[in-house]
A = this chain, B = another copy of it.
Amino acid sequence: MKNPSQQNYIPQVSIDCVIFGYHNRQLKVLIPKINFSGDFWALPSGFVAQDEDIDQAAERILRDRTGIQDIYLEQFRVFGKASRSNKPFLDELIALNSDKLRVKNEAQQDYDWFTKRFISIGYYALVDINKVIPQKTDLDESIEWYSIHDIPRMIMDHSNIIAEALKTLQNDLDEKINAFNLLPETFTMKEVQEVYEAISGKTFVRTNFQKMILSLDVLERLEKKFTGAANKAPYLYRFKG
């Protein structure tokens, strides 16, 4: 993603990805922190190459950030306010980091390219958090999972993008039955319930939840899982792709 102005991208169009994972009863989002002073966090983003489908671009961005392929992905909304520009943020960043920054040949060109008004296509992804190896880029100070209840200070309208992604995920939960993409290959019914509760923010009655999920007819029951705990061993299930 260096020197985007030099590459053959579609101008003024970006893709922002909200990558959801699940761990410890909490729904999380993978967010890089930008590698400059000032404490800025920004969603994993990228641009669309001229010869690339937008879905492919989103897949590429996700592959680069998570190290895994074949990720569950949904385009959920376009953010297109005329005021959507990196300029205020970039100017603040430059002011805070004037010592570190040197003027290169391409710097002004990149600055002009970056600070135009951007239309951003929002995608959300659901991943098995255990499979992901978060990939830092040169621009990142860190990249971490943050609970949806504890999102850091995001640049531009990225907080809003996350909120919209979550809302869409909540709406999709019943119709698209995609929550299983947050779980590992095999899982117990209790884990399914905890994922559903983390996403929806509601609680469910254990016995009825089990019947509801089984009636979807999307799970196959495997052998039991012996945890060593002093109680009945739960069944393991696998999602019938």
Which A residues form the contact surface with B (CB < 8 A)?
10-13, 48, 50-56, 75, 77-78, 80-82, 117, 119, 121, 171, 175
Contact = CB atoms under 8 A, between A and B. Distances in A.
A-B complex: 5 closest residue pairs judged by Cβ atoms: A54-B80, A53-B81, A53-B82, A10-B12, A51-B82
A119 B13 contact: yes
Contacts of A171: 175
Q: How many copies of the shown chain assemble into the complex?
A: 2
Nearest to A12: B10
A121 B52 contact: no
Contact of A54 (B48, B52, B54, B119): B119
Contact of A82 (B12, B52, B80): B52
Contacts of A80: 48, 53-55, 121
11 contacts: A10-B12, A11-B11, A13-B13, A48-B80, A50-B82, A50-B117, A51-B82, A53-B81, A53-B82, A78-B121, A119-B121
A48 B12 CA distance: 11
Contacts of A54: 78, 80-81, 119
Contact of A75 (B12, B51, B77, B82): B77
Contacts of A53: 80-82
A141 to B, nearest CB: 31
Given A13-B12, A48-B119, A78 B78 contact: yes
A10 B50 contact: no
A48 B75 CA distance: 21
